[in-house]
Amino acid sequence: MTTVPSRASANENLVASPRSSGEQQPGSSAVPAPRPPQSEPGRPVRLRCRRIAEGALVLCADGALDGVGEADFAELMRQLLHESERLVVLDLSAVSFMTTAGAVALLEADCRARIQGVALMVVSSPAVDRLLGLIDVADRFTYAPSVATCLARLGTAGGLVPQPRTHPVSDDLEEG
């Protein structure tokens, strides 16, 4: 059974036109009441950095990587990429929300890493994957399913060799 709000409840969020004296006049236009300010989705981004091997760091981010947190993220990435690191793993697996400001900071970090000769690997989350896919830049990054996988690759490769994300179609084409 579908319920339809009464006319009175539908008009509760209406306010009088700014030209009126505060009372709604018959035939005057009503405008919706202003919405309360919306808080940013999720919690603010929290950044932590740790060394996983000689020349290799992990930057963990959790929370919302948005217009508020992207400045801290971008500045920390600039600092890390100016050091003598050969590998930086971005653990974004706990990022619950990402805006285009966060994506731009991530793209900037990737560009700086390439210029500095630093391997940059991303451990992603559904929120990050969704946005990078929507803006069609997901293929610009090198991914790993987890930080542990990065460590395993580091150990088995005998060095810092990131594995690029492969597309299933391109794998099929190489076999045939």
Segment 7-57, tens digit of pLDDT: 444 444 444 444 444 555 555 556 655 544 443 455 788 999 998 888 889
Please report the pLDDT score of residue 23 as a whole number.
54
Delimit the domains of the chain by residue range. 46-158
pTM: 0.65
Q: How confident is the model at residue 70 (pLDDT cuts 50, 70, 90)?
A: confident
Hey, how many other C-beta atoms are within 10 angstroms of the C-beta on 148?
A: 11
* In contact, 163 and 144? CB cutoff 8 Å: yes
Question: Beta 30-32 vs 56-65: how paired, if at all?
Answer: unpaired
Smallest CA-to-CA distance from 95 within 122, 118, 119, 113 is with 122
Q: How far, in Å, CA of 150 to CA of 143, rounded?
A: 9
122 closest CA partner among 170, 99, 90, 159: 90
Residue 102 CB contacts under 8 Å (≥ 6 apart), including other chains: 65, 66, 69, 70, 73, 95, 131
pLDDT at 175: 43
CA distance 157 to 58: 18
pLDDT at residue 155 in the model: 66
Reported as a single tens digit per residue, the pLDDT across 77-127 is 988 887 678 889 999 999 999 999 999 999 999 999 999 899 999 999 999
Q: pLDDT digits over 121-155, tens only?
A: 999 999 999 999 999 999 999 999 999 888 787 76
CATH architecture of 46-158: 2-Layer Sandwich (3.30)
pLDDT at 60: 95
> How far is C-alpha 105 from the chain's CA centre?
9
Mean of the pLDDT values across residues 146-169? 60
